[in-house]
Amino acid sequence: MISLSRRIADELGVAEKQVTATIELLDEGATVPFIARYRKEVTGSLDDTQLRQLSERLVYLRELEDRRDTILKSIEEQGKLTETLKKDILDAETKTRLEDLYLPYKPKRRTKGQIAIEAGIEPLADALFANRLLDPAAEAEAYINAEAGFADSKAVLDGAKYILMERFAQEADLLAKLRGYLADNGTLLATVMSGKEVEGEKFRDYFEHKEAWSKVPSHRALAMFRGRREGVLSIKVDIEVPEGERHPCESMIAQFFDLRDEGQPADAWLQETVRWTWRIKLQFHLETELLADLRERAEAAAIEVFAANLQDLLLAAPAGQRATIALDPGLRTGVKVAVIDNTGKVVDHGAIYPHAPKNQWDASIAQLAKLAKQYSAELIAIGNGTASRETDKLAGDLIKLHPELGLQKVMVNEAGASVYSASAEAAAEMPDL
């Protein structure tokens, strides 16, 4: 089985040793911004975007492996772990696929199908599924068991249906097909609850509303979810089927198990079992999944909208629209310099080395004076990190030696600067820096 570090390396298109080194740093408690800024020599200069992807994928894959181990152990303890099933579980690449495979073996409450099995009806279900020439009603007579709650042939056949329904509903490949089909073709339907027309007036737009599930915008989805939470709206996801036609998901279930209605004695009963499987076992289960997915999608989109609206307020210049020279203090690595104009645009950047060991004090003042004059800077902003006092003195000497520049200096809290510098937002805003 491919190693976790090898798999992530292949996905990111980097060397495995880079991934291994980064995982060690993350496991030691280092954050992505810290690694991006201060451990380039260890990671082989992985950038912040690659590190974020690596970290997120690492968490997902470790959770997947933990769950895989738990599932394998659980099925093995039940004595039901075949080589084929084990291979399918080991090959599963998503949590959804893993849970679908585990579904038939997951400990569950006593179901109607289980009760029927305990009453000895499973051989009848197997026989009718395997041989469609059998007459269900006639075959059921031999399985009547009044003491177990199956007093007539109808009750026996219902029990057999539940056995097959639960078996059908636990087929991982079938679940994946139905889930994908509903996601691509499903319609979100909202209707008003009876008697809530006046009370729910603000949700009137959704009293009779339908649109493609995959295309519902976030604001409408959230409004409908609010309406449901307040007891005004009923929401469901389904395929619109013309009256008199069979639901396509029922057809998919029948096709998956090769159940065709050819007029044989057991065909009608099996087709009814397929119908029950969809309507009773699978429809609500998959609808709940899709609605949860829609809510998550809508909330993420809403957060993006709110964030965009808030961004301008948060990025408003605290000292007004004034060209500024920003200094990120440092000793051995130098003082980083960035110049922004009065609109906040980065117009220049570089580094000076006024402190030990290079001690280029006068040259640094001269370089800063040149930048201030060139870009009409009015402010010098100094980060309050390592060497901030020494750098503040440098700015003070600059102001004394060049009063004609009219500069002012201010100490700035660096909290969050490193985190931002290694963020996706920074990479998008200033991709070349």
pLDDT in tens, 154-183: 999 999 999 999 999 999 999 999 999 999
In a domain, 405, yes or no: yes
CA distance 383 to 328: 5
Write down which residue in 105, 127, 143 finishes a domain.
Answer: 105
- The amino acid sitting at 226 is R
pLDDT of 1 reads 60
With respect to residue 192, please indicate whether it lies within any of the assigned structural domains: no
Using one digit for the tens of pLDDT, what is the confidence trace for 287-318?
A: 999 999 999 999 999 998 898 888 878 877 77
Q: Burial-class residue 91 by CB neighbours within 10 Å (0-12, 13-18, 19+).
A: exposed
Strands 187-192 and 233-238 come out as antiparallel
- Whether 391 is in a domain gets the answer yes
| Residues 336 and 330 sit within 8 Å (Cβ to Cβ) | yes
Number of independent structural domains in the chain:
2
CA distance between the termini of the chain: 40
Q: What is the pLDDT of residues 321-374, one digit of tens each?
A: 899 999 999 988 899 999 999 988 899 999 999 999 999 999 999 999 999 999
pLDDT top residue among 273 and 419: 273
H or E, element range at 6: helix 4-12
pLDDT score, position 186: 95
Give the whole-angstrom CA distance, residue 369 versus residue 376: 10
CATH number, residue 43: 1.10.10.650
pLDDT in tens, 220-242: 999 999 999 999 999 999 998 88
Q: Is 422 helix (H, G, I), strand (E, B) or coil?
A: coil
User: Which of 105, 126, 141 represents a domain boundary (last residue)?
Assistant: 105
In a domain, 295, yes or no: no
Element (H, E) at 345: none
For 404, the domain range is 324-429
Q: Is residue 13 part of a domain?
A: yes
Could you give the angle at the alpha carbon of 50 between the alpha carbons of 46 and 54, nearest 5°? 110
Per-residue confidence (pLDDT) for residue 37, from 0 to 100: 83
**11 assigned to some structural domain:** yes
Token readout for 95 is 């949590």
Q: Which amino acid appears at position 102 of this protein?
A: Y
- pLDDT (tens digit, 9 = 90+) per residue, 114-161? 999 999 999 999 999 999 999 999 999 999 999 889 999 999 999 999
Contact 22, 35 (CB under 8 A): yes
Residue 204 has pLDDT above 70, yes or no: yes
**Tokens 């096709």 -> residue:** 255
- Amino acid identity of residue 54, one-letter, is L
Choose one of 105, 131, 165: the last residue of a domain: 105
Q: Is residue 235 part of a domain?
A: no
pLDDT tens readout for residues 379-414: 999 999 889 999 999 999 999 999 999 999 999 998
Distance CA 191, CA 142 (A): 47
